[in-house]
Amino acid sequence: MAKMFRYIRSFGLVVVSAGLIFVLLLGSVVPAKAAPDKKTIKVGYRTHFTGAIATQTATFSSGALDCAKYQNDFKGGIGGIPIDILWQDAHCERVKEISIHKRFKAAEVVAEVTFLVNTRVIALLQQKDEIPLMNIAGFAPGGTTEPIRWVFGGPPYWCNLTATAINWFKEMRWSEAHPLRVGSVVYDDPAGRSSLEGVPEYCREIGAEWVGYEVVPFLGCIDTSTELLRIAAKKPDLIYTTLFGAPLVTVIKDSARLGLKDQGINFFGCANSVDLCIVRTTGAGDVQGWYTLTATPAPQEKFPAAAEILQAAQKYRGQGPEDVPQFYCGGWMGSLITFEGIRIALEKVGIENLNGRAVRDGLASIRDFDTGGILAWPANLSDEKPYIVDAVLVYQIQEGKIVRVGEPTPVITPAEMGQKM
């Protein structure tokens, strides 16, 4: 009996071995995984749904992703090819952007989209790995490569936005006999600090007086009374802020508590900073009268692309027309411009040869692109001009509503401030 069992076991091992050999041989002629019937276009999104300034960046991230979903669902992707949407949350942390970029590189994305990243940290990586980045924010010096650009952005330098706001206020709102006195509050971040570069000199050129600035924390900004009282003691007529999210909320609440508006001080927030998200967080009373620059209109306004934007917000976020903040439009714009660069690249090289370099070249070839009114002027990108926002809108918070005041205003260019881009 024992002898028979050993025989059966030996025979079984032979059968199993033969079966494995057969499977291996079969595997050499049959693909382990069938090739996909249709290729896709991989785009990587570094989102910011959490973190210090997620009060607003979450809305931007939603708009950017929803634009990609809408492009797939209603427009068949780009040139009939679906977009493979990859995204990871960077938590508003600059270093995390690097690790996410590396993951996207391994996944073979042809472009990346983000907002408010310190591109000085990552520009050389984009160049080395040949993956273009659309960063819908102002540039800090060194934030892109040159002369061949691998990082493209929204407005030019942050300080150009500061100068634009000061010039607008002086021309459109200032009527006192003495020169306009200007100060600033920024957060401790390359974007915040770079928003001051060249501004004192620009103020002198236009007949305004620069009184100084204060810096508040980017993380853990819970009280700004000391900074606000110091800048208020210098008797400014206008305080311009380069702040978003939690730091901006703190400054708004503290300035209201300290009664600074009652002292005749006007407040002006940087691009797209004072929006519905902020009004709902601070309360309408505390932010009453604040001005803000915006690169995009409020989605409740009647412009050609508004219907699609509101439809997407309803479909993917369950938001009604009155609930969609302007930052949603900013994220939408980031995707839309990226898709135009990809479309141009597809026309030139086809899907078989589509890669990061081809998309980079496509982005640098965008000329007079109509965004459906998301931008005040048509978008143009090139190696000489790596930004798309040439004009901004000015809004004011009035009784809890965001009200446009005036026509589109040209952005003060780097050349006008003696800068090289």
The pLDDT tens digits for 346-360 are 999 999 999 999 999
Average model confidence (pLDDT) across the chain: 89
Sketch out the chain's domains with CATH numbers: 41-157+301-390 (3.40.50.2300), 159-300+394-417 (3.40.50.2300)
Buried b (16+ CB within 10 A) or exposed e, 84-108: bbbbbbbebbbebbeebbeebbeee
> Residue 190 has what pLDDT?
84
Quick: pLDDT tens for 95-109.
788 999 999 999 999
C-beta of residue 354 within 8 angstroms of C-beta of residue 345: yes
Residue 179 DSSP label: P
Residue 12 has pLDDT above 60, yes or no: no
Instruction: Provide mean pLDDT across the span 27-38.
Output: 38
Looking at the chain, the whole-number percentage of residues with pLDDT higher than 70 is 90
pLDDT, one tens digit per residue, over 219-232 is 889 999 999 999 99
Distance CA 337, CA 111 (A): 11
Q: What backbone torsions phi and psi does residue 336 show, to the nearest 5 degrees?
A: -60, -45
Rounded mean pLDDT, 18-27: 35
* Residue, of 339 and 245, whose pLDDT is higher: 339
Work out the pLDDT band at 53, boundaries 50, 70, 90: confident
Helix (H) or strand (E) holding 57: helix 54-75
Cα–Cα distance, 266 to 125 (Å, whole number) = 41
Residues 6+ apart with CB under 8 A from 164: 293, 392, 409, 410, 411, 412
User: pLDDT at position 96, please?
Assistant: 87
Query: 95: alpha, beta or left, given left = phi > 0 and alpha = psi -120 to 50?
Result: alpha
Q: Which of 182, 132, 123, 70 is nearest to 365 (CA)?
A: 132
Q: Does residue 120 register a pLDDT over 90?
A: no
Tell whether omega for the bond before 147 is within 30 degrees of 0, i.e. cis: yes
Question: Region 16-28: what's the mean pLDDT?
Answer: 35
Confidence of residue 117 (pLDDT cuts 50, 70, 90): low
Contact indicator for 186, 138 with CB cutoff of 8 Å = no
57 pLDDT tier (thresholds 50, 70, 90)? confident
Q: What are phi and psi of 232, to 5 degrees?
A: -65, -30
Angle at Cα 40 formed by Cα 37 and Cα 44, nearest 5°? 150
pLDDT at residue 91 in the model? 86
Q: Per mean pLDDT, which range of 118-127, 309-318, 324-333, 336-345 is the poorest?
A: 118-127
Q: Which residues 6+ apart lie within 8 Å of 104 measured at CB?
A: 44, 86, 112, 131
- Burial label, 421 (beta-carbon count in 10 A; 0-12, 13-18, 19+): middle
Confidence of residue 54 (pLDDT cuts 50, 70, 90): confident
Chain centroid, CA 215 distance in Å = 23
CA distance 287 to 274: 9
- Are 64 and 331 in contact by the 8 Å Cβ rule? The answer is yes
Mean pLDDT value of segment 385-401: 96
Find the helix packing angle between 326-349 and 356-363, rounded to 10°. 110
Global pTM reads 0.88
Backbone phi, psi, residue 233, to 5°: -65, -20
Position 15 confidence tier, pLDDT thresholds 50, 70, 90:
very low
For position 180, what pLDDT does the model report?
98
Q: Which residue has the tokens 């479909």?
A: 315
Rounded Cα distance between 271 and 201, Å, is 21
Q: Is the pLDDT of residue 237 over 50?
A: yes
The residue whose two tokens read 């691998």 is 150
Q: Tell me, what's the pLDDT at 141?
A: 82
Q: What is the mean pLDDT of residues 359-376?
A: 97
240-267 pLDDT tens trace: 999 998 999 999 999 999 999 999 999 9
**Residue 296 amino acid letter:** T
For residues 112 and 125, the answer to whether their CB atoms sit within 8 Å is: no
State residue 118's pLDDT score: 65
Burial 237-248, CB ≥16 within 10 A → b, else e:
bbbbbbbbbbbb
- Across 4-13, 188-197, 327-336, least confident range: 4-13
Please tell me the distance from the alpha carbon of residue 89 to that of residue 79, in angstroms, as a whole number. 28
Local confidence band at 24 (pLDDT 50, 70, 90 cut-offs): very low
CA-nearest of 151, 44, 43 to 90 is 44
Average pLDDT, integer, range 34-62: 83
- Residue 73 confidence (pLDDT) above 50: yes
CA distance 60 to 45: 11
Residue 372 has pLDDT above 70, yes or no: yes
As a whole number of angstroms, the distance between CA 53 and CA 219 comes to 9
